[in-house]
Amino acid sequence: MPLIGFGTWQLRGQRGYDAIRFALEAGYRHIDTATMYGNEAEVGRALGDSGIDRKDVFVTTKLPSGGVGRERDTIDASLRTLRTDYVDLWLVHWPPRGEALPQVWRELLAARDRGLARAVGVSNYRTGQLDELIGATGEAPAVNQIPWSPPRHDARLLAESRRRKIVVEGYSPLKGTNLRGRVLGEIASVHRVTPAQVVLRWHVQHGIAVIPKSADRSRITANLDLFSFTLSPEEVVRIDGLSAA
């Protein structure tokens, strides 16, 4: 899974299609969608029109709460809408009714075993709920997609996930972050980049997959341009220190 993905929440219709298509042209090879986003059709059309080989793009979608009990029908519908035979990652979008529900996890594992998803995982699960899934099936989710940003940084949670061999994928990486703050501003000035790029690069250096979202072409491009600079260990620690945890 590429560490930098393109988030598509709220990107629908022609505006959504144009943003997704431009992201692919700009070089993104990881697209994150969900059934509840209502834009799987835009993702599928943009991917098909891009001319990029399907195997070269990592596509994620998610099982909505309404799909519980109809997991097979839901993934089949997503695949038709996305115009693909498989997704690279299928996630349970939220713990159903706030519970882990191992039976839902078993259905995702079955979908993976049938080749409908290359990997399966969850989103918005707590550590105890992850352990419940592991205890019931012997298999850990490949990914737990959760909100992550400097104010939400939690070194203990990250370590607990890694002990379980679960990849942390962060969404809303810029939400709630003071991009005009002194720490990010000083670090951005040193590297001649934007504070947003500093935050995204910080995710990458922590090994956290990140899925920024934008419909603005300049920001779409900038959010992918994270490999022309490297944060020093001291800078990473300074950003860690912005955590409210």
pLDDT per residue as tens digits for the range 162-172: 999 999 999 99
Domain limits for position 123: 6-178+207-214
In a domain, 190, yes or no: no
In a domain, 151, yes or no: yes
Task: Copy the structure tokens of residue 97.
Answer: 């009714």
Phi then psi for 139, rounded to 5 degrees? -125, 130
Greater confidence, 206 or 244? 206
Reported as a single tens digit per residue, the pLDDT across 85-94 is 999 999 999 9
Give this prediction's pTM: 0.96
Quickly state the pLDDT bin for 244 (edges 50, 70, 90): confident
d(CA 195, CA 187): 8
In a domain, 110, yes or no: yes
pLDDT of residue 155: 96
3-class SS of residue 123:
strand
Which segments of 39-139 does DSSP mark as H helices, in order? Answer: 40-50, 71-82, 102-113, 127-137
Sign of CA dihedral 44, 48, 52, 53: positive
In a domain, 42, yes or no: yes
Quickly state the pLDDT bin for 99 (edges 50, 70, 90): very high
- Counting the structural domains of the chain, the total is 1
Task: Copy the structure tokens of residue 25.
Answer: 């042209």
Task: Copy the structure tokens of residue 193.
Answer: 């980049």
In a domain, 224, yes or no: no
In a domain, 229, yes or no: no
Greater confidence, 3 or 176? 3
In a domain, 244, yes or no: no
In a domain, 70, yes or no: yes
Q: Which member of 17, 28, 37, 86 is catalytic?
A: 37
pLDDT of residue 245: 63
pLDDT of residue 128: 97
Categorise residue 186: left if φ over 0, alpha if ψ from -120 to 50, beta otherwise. alpha
Residue 171: active-site member: no
Mean pLDDT of the chain: 97
The mean per-residue pLDDT over the stretch 228-241 comes to 98
Q: Which of 198, 151, 210 is closest to 177 using CA atoms? A: 151
Q: Which of 133, 235, 130, 137 is closest to 184 using CA atoms? A: 235
Q: What percent of the chain has pLDDT over 90?
A: 99
pLDDT of residue 212: 97
**152: CATH:** 3.20.20.100
Model confidence at 173: pLDDT above 90: yes
